Amino acid sequence: MGSRFVAASESTSFEFAVCLVFYLIDLILEAPILHFNDVYRVAPQQNPNPGSSARETIDVTQFGAMLDDLRSQWKEQPNGVRDGLVLFSGDVFSPSVESSVTRGGHMVPVMNELKPDASVTGNHDFDFGYSHLSKLIKATTFVILHAI
């Protein structure tokens, strides 16, 4: 197998020649990536020991404002799209006190508003079964990649 060179004057089976030209382009792309995961509460959780090394949390409105602020700093292309990705890696619909009542439905409008560019499902997103997860996914307006 493999290729061999045959001069046109010696060709008996109509071989053909292909010329490939490769151009090396010095191109450096810079794209910020923001990532978050395990978001299933919309209200801040208070630190029971103020002043300790445990961190206070922020609510979803504050988080959304932070995302918007960071996105606004990204370079904008002529088509209006900004360079950068917001990625989410699962566990949005469960577990939380709220999800025990809403079965994760409370997070659909929240995540739709946060607008991640792409996300994947986490193990807890299957807590209420694949059928229910499928309904939640259909209600979202962002890309969710998952395998079963």
Third-level CATH fold of 31-145: Purple Acid Phosphatase; chain A, domain 2 (3.60.21)
Query: What pLDDT does residue 3 have?
Result: 46
Mean pLDDT of the chain: 82
pLDDT exceeds cutoff 80 at 46:
no
Give pLDDT, residue 49: 65
Cα separation, 50 vs 88, whole angstroms: 29
**pLDDT average, residue stretch 105-134:** 94
Q: pLDDT grade, residue 109 (50/70/90)?
A: very high
Q: Give the pLDDT band (50/70/90) at residue 41.
A: low
- Predicted local confidence at residue 7, as pLDDT: 59
Residue 85: φ, ψ to 5°: -135, 140
pLDDT digits (tens, 9 = 90+) for 135-146: 999 999 999 987
pLDDT bucket at 80, cuts 50 / 70 / 90: confident
31 vs 11 pLDDT, higher one: 31
Query: What is the rounded average pLDDT of the residues 19-30?
Result: 68
**Cα–Cα distances in Å, from 35 out to 60, 114, 120, 125?**
15, 12, 12, 18
Q: Averaged over 42-46, what is the pLDDT?
A: 66
Start-to-end CA span in the chain (Å)? 41
